[in-house]
Amino acid sequence: MIIGLTGGIASGKSTIAQMLVERGALLVDADAVAREVVQPGEPALEAIASSFGQAVLNENGTLNRAALGDIVFKDKELLHKLEAITHPAIRETMQRRIKKYAESHPKKLVVADIPLLYETKQEHLYEGIMVVYVPVHIQCERLMERSGMTKDEAMRRIANQMDIEEKRKRADWVVDNSGSKQQSERQIEQFWQSQGLL
């Protein structure tokens, strides 16, 4: 079975992904793949440099994320331009990896961890979607704690994603991650057993 895993920012998606991996799931992580596709020598990095200029590269030829962030996070059109370069490369790499896992381990659960799964309209690619849910006020608290953001900054980041309540409605499985780690573990265990996973 191949499922998509998503949630809101600071919902604890990585923690839930880890719980699935500990039970034997194979994980393909969009954030990790996003870092891979912009390594030196990759076509996406070359396209970024030609679109945004050499200033977005470090002296050693690697991507200067801070410099690129300064450019794209101030201008939605430039952000879309960047996404038009990176998203297809990320998606292609992920699908190749998922296919390889599914073919070599047909009995295992394959999990695609994609923060913007609904926003990038990828739900049709998976047999089901698991949403890691926490209410907005908890997202905000965690973001402020984790990143030292002000409440306004945290709420702006949260507002950049689809509403968490909407994601919850669309999900095939919801893991409420607003309680203790043990409570989340129990939900994952129930999911694991309900799907007859080995």
Per-residue model confidence as pLDDT tens digits over 99-148 = 999 999 999 999 999 999 999 899 999 999 999 999 999 999 999 999 88
Supply 39's token pair: 């390594």
Confidence (pLDDT) at 160:
83
Query: Rounded to an integer, what distance in angstroms lies between the CA atom of residue 67 and that of residue 65?
Result: 6
Mean pLDDT rounded to a whole number for the chain = 94
* Domains of the chain listed by start with CATH number: 2-25+109-193 (3.40.50.300)
pLDDT digits (tens, 9 = 90+) for 3-44: 999 999 999 999 999 999 999 999 999 999 999 999 999 999
Which bin fits 134, alpha (ψ -120 to 50), beta or left (φ > 0)?
beta
Sign of CA dihedral 76, 165, 188, 105: negative
Q: Which of 90, 89, 87, 52 is nearest to 72 (CA)?
A: 52
